[in-house]
Amino acid sequence: MRSVFRYPSPLAAVAVLPASLLLLGLGGARWGEQGHKMAAQAAVQTLPAEMPGFFRAAGDQLVWLNPDPDRWRGAEESRQDPALNGASAPDHYIDLEWTTPGSLKAPNRVAFLDSLRAAGQKELPGFLPFRIVELTQRLRIQFRQWRQMPEGAERRYLEQRIINDAGILGHYVTDGSNPHHTTIHHNGWVGPNPDGFATDNRMHSRFEGTYVRARITQGDVTPLVPKTPTVHAALRDGVMAYLMRTNAELRTLYTLDKQEPFGEGTAGTAHKEFTATRIAAGAAMLRDLWWTAWITSVPSDTPSRR
C-alpha cells in the first residue's frame, strides 16, 4: 500500500539520521487488505514444488502476514509516540521523480540519503527498493542457515522466522506493483496537468481500496501469474526493473481513471484487466523473490537440503 504520508520539510530531511525521519499525518489509502491478500494467495498458489515443505505448508500464514505493515499504523499509537509511523512510512514507496542520477545504485539506504544530500535534493523519495532488497537478503541468510541446521527445536524456530520475514517482504513487494507507489503523483496528479488527470486526494484509495474490494476476485488474479518462476541472481537489478515496469503504467492508470473514475461502481473491462494485471505482477514478483532467496541460498560447500 502507498500511504499519503509525506516528508514534512524539504531538506533538513536528508541532513539528519534516518531514524529521526518523522512524517506527519496518517493515510488510509492502500491496496487494501483484500488486494494484498489476493497477491499473496496467488504467489503461494504458484510456488514451485521444490520450495521447502514447511514454507509451502505455511501458505495461509504468508497470506495473513502480507497486509501486516499497514496494520502497524494507527492514530492511537501515534498519539502515544510517532516513532514507528514516522520512520516506517517511506519504506512503502519510491518517488522516482525525486531520485537523482546514480542515487539508486547506492549500497544501502544511508548512502542513498548521502547521495541525495550531495546532489542538493530537497525531498525524500522513499526507500521501497531498499526495503525489498533488505528483506530478501534476510530471507536468503535464513534459508542458508536452515540448510545447515540440524533437525530439532531451533530449526523450527528458524522456520517461523523465515515465514514471518517472507510474509512481511510480501507487503512491500506487492506495494510495488501499484504505480502510485513509484511516483509523486501518488494520490492525484500534482503540478502541470495538461491531460486533465484526477487531482482529488482520494484517487489512491478509490483505486486500490474501494475498486479492488468491489470488482476484483482471486480468480481474476491467479491465472495471470506466470507458472515458471524467475531467479533474480542480480537482486537489485531485478527489483529496480520491477519498479520501473510498474512506474511505466502510471499514465495508463490515470487515463483509465479519467475515462471512468475508479470506484465501487466502475464497470470498465479495461479497468478490471489493468488492476488484476497489476496485482498479478506483484504476486509474480513476490513468488520469484521467495524462490530467488531459496535457490541462491545454497552454500558453496554444503549440499542442498529440503
pLDDT in tens, 104-132: 999 999 999 999 999 999 999 999 999 99
Share above pLDDT 70 across residues of the chain, in percent, rounded to a whole number: 88
- Please give the model's pTM, rounded to 2 decimal places: 0.89
- Can you tell me whether residue 24 is helix, strand or coil? strand
pLDDT over 90 (residue 299): no
Percent of the chain with pLDDT over 90: 81
Per-residue pLDDT, 76? 85
For residue 194, give every residue at least 6 positions away whose Cβ sits within 8 Å of its Cβ, in sequence order, or none: none
The model's pLDDT over 177-221, given as tens digits with 9 standing for 90+, comes to 999 999 999 999 999 999 999 999 999 999 999 999 999 999 999
- Among the listed residues 156, 148, 172, the one whose alpha carbon sits nearest the alpha carbon of residue 66: 172
Three cell numbers, residue 289: 523473490
Helices (H), ranges, 176-268? 203-205, 212-215, 218-221, 235-247, 250-259
